[in-house]
Amino acid sequence: MTPLKKKWFKKQWAEKHSQKNAPSHTSAPKPLLVSDYLLSDTIRFFQSSVAQQQIFTELIRTLQLENAPAVLKAILEREEIGSTVIAREIAFPHTRLPNLTRTKAALGLCPKGAEGIAKESPIRLFLLFVSPADNMSQHLAFLSSAASLFQTEDLAQHLLRLTAPEAILEKIRESETGR
């Protein structure tokens, strides 16, 4: 190897390794925000106590997915494996689907609670989401972000008092961004 090539390779190696070990001055990747996956059209209010399956059916309908009955079946099968209740009054029904390119989410608010689920504390808030079957990391990232979001003190109770989808989205964004 010629001295000129040797010097060039040495320089390339040094640049590559100094970038790996140097502290990053670039901004961190944008965190996944639940509000980026919700639309005012995918937020539904259930004024009276209704059955869980009715809530799931309506939320799935808002997502405009192909073969909604199969999606409902997958969500219900997931519920049979283990409850998706993540906190008092909150559930994250979810599944992974083939031929889906992006996570989709819908939010259901049922102030009186859904019928026939948790005896000790009725479920009042449902964040239903579906993710691509071939992208587990996207699925887990959304689940993690949603779980973090709803650890915000009194967020669920605050959302349940709101009456407009736009106000709900605004409150969620405020909780996610701290503004």
Alpha carbon distances (Å) from 28 to 24, 31, 33, 142, 172: 9, 8, 14, 18, 21
Question: According to CATH, what is the number of the domain 33-177?
Answer: 3.40.930.10
Mean per-residue pLDDT, 67-77: 94
φ, ψ of residue 81 in degrees (nearest 5): -65, -40
Q: At residue 15, does pLDDT exceed 80?
A: no
Nearest in space to 34 (alpha carbons), one of 86, 79, 99, 77: 86
* Side-chain half-sphere CA neighbours of 144 within 13 A: 8
pTM: 0.81
Q: At residue 171, does pLDDT exceed 60?
A: yes
Which residues of 77-145 form beta strands (DSSP E)?
85-87, 90-91, 94-97, 104-109, 125-132
The pLDDT-based confidence of 1 (bands split at 50, 70, 90) is low
pLDDT value of position 109: 96
Domain spans of the chain? Answer: 33-177
The pLDDT-based confidence of 164 (bands split at 50, 70, 90) is very high
> For the segment 96-137, what is each residue's pLDDT rounded down to a tens digit?
999 899 999 999 999 988 876 655 678 999 999 999 999 999
Tell me the C-alpha distance between 116 and 135, whole Å.
32
